[in-house]
Structure 1
């Protein structure tokens, strides 16, 4: 598979404290990859360096072979890296479809020229993206009345509007009920399979991670301590120690 993203020896320090310490990994086309670790492990710091919100203290990031280290977030977004955040950021006063239309207007560089008829622009395209996340029946509802799980779906639709090659999802199921978490990540997995999108996500719900991730990376104290399949990570003694002091991180299928 084609390598979409490569991070080489990424480091980030604050007054001598290494928040991220020499992290290297790759994400391939059509891969759904999880980045997990306890609070303070450096997951969000890694994400922020990949998308340009933070400048690395050292190391490099490449997108399909092009160096993007230190470029501004909007430029990296234009190059094909999307992102969703732990806390949703939709326009609550607008309707569901208007939120998606605004994302499409931005993608088509018409944000300062759309005029008073913006509500007519890209409506059909917006409906297609809402159909992808099963929200087309709520297109004209105001965002302020949506259930939280539906807001997460809407945020995903917005992130897909500029057709990214890589999507970074920071705690995509945070604050959701257990059943809704599984449904959302199954939706993401379906999009990965059908569109060949690459996804890197952070997550604290281990059921979500082990049920859907193709590969899993584990950070602890800023360092990468594991990178492999679900089974390899599940059995790694360093991962077991970090999460449960040597206990079983995740039961095998069929275990009591």
Structure 2
């Protein structure tokens, strides 16, 4: 079954076509990478998928339902989680409280029982923190966390609405190499164990080729290549985009 279907998505800013007739599908329990150089249109594409930007042209379907132009909060309630290039957490709150806020929203109790909010959904929050390896830091203020820990916390927050689709915009940006591997292994486990479909952007090619089931390549707003990691790695046009010539991570240009 198709989790996400995108057809001829377009978005322009002034005279610049940031996303140009992009079409693709995300399968159930698939880990799909969207890569490309800076300015290729990856974040603009993501922002249309979760409703932050309305496309000029094109349709977005979530499990067959047209969600084109649906506001972000409504998209979230339909089962789409999102992480960002720059972490979006409440620095003055504790790790636990950040997850509790997301759970309060998920359960539609964000405005109810505010004086008692700290006592609500603690077990659910702790379970999510345990899932991402942050349970032992539940009482720490977010403002004191290392950046890699903030990335893991943001993943826990993104999972609070029990998403069927998870959009991860450069999930390992700013992390140490070992932390990157650990986070993507965790993401792959979530795909397998919880049945979540994941679309992620990434600049680290080791992360992409080591974990993605399938890879798409954007360049100047257009989708120029798509396939398995080995197929994309051996694609001459992709090699030209990234390196100017030669091989990309060991794949010969003539392959």
Inter-partner Cα distance in structure 1 for 2:67 and 2:32: 20
Q: Secondary structure at the match of 1:56?
A: coil
- The yes-or-no answer on 1:172 pairing with 2:176 is no
The normalised TM-score by structure 2 is 0.96
Task: Write out per-residue CA displacement over residues 198-230 of structure 1, whole angstroms, 9 at most, x where no aligned residue.
Answer: 010000010111111110000001100111100
Task: Write out per-residue CA displacement over residues 52-81 of structure 1, whole angstroms, 9 at most, x where no aligned residue.
Answer: 111111111000000011111111111111
Task: Write out per-residue CA displacement over residues 122-154 of structure 1, whole angstroms, 9 at most, x where no aligned residue.
Answer: 001111111110111111111122121111100
The normalised TM-score by structure 1 is 0.96
Q: Secondary structure at the match of 1:225?
A: strand
Structure-1 residue corresponding to 2:129 = 130
- The yes-or-no answer on 1:111 pairing with 2:142 is no
Q: Secondary structure at the match of 1:13?
A: strand
Report matched runs for 1:1-256 at 5 Å.
2-251=1-250
Inter-partner Cα distance in structure 2 for 1:147 and 1:81: 26
Inter-partner Cα distance in structure 2 for 1:110 and 1:235: 50
Gaps of 5+ in 1: none
Inter-partner Cα distance in structure 1 for 2:235 and 2:130: 40
Report the aligned-residue RMSD: 1.0
Q: CA deviation at 1:15?
A: 2.5
* Structure 1 runs of 4+ with >6 Å offset: none
Inter-partner Cα distance in structure 2 for 1:68 and 1:105: 24
Inter-partner Cα distance in structure 2 for 1:4 and 1:245: 35
Q: CA deviation at 1:251?
A: 2.2
Inter-partner Cα distance in structure 1 for 2:45 and 2:103: 28
Q: Secondary structure at the match of 1:39?
A: coil
Task: Write out per-residue CA displacement over residues 167-197 of structure 1, whole angstroms, 9 at most, x where no aligned residue.
Answer: 1011111111111111111111111111111
How many residue pairs end up in the alignment?
251
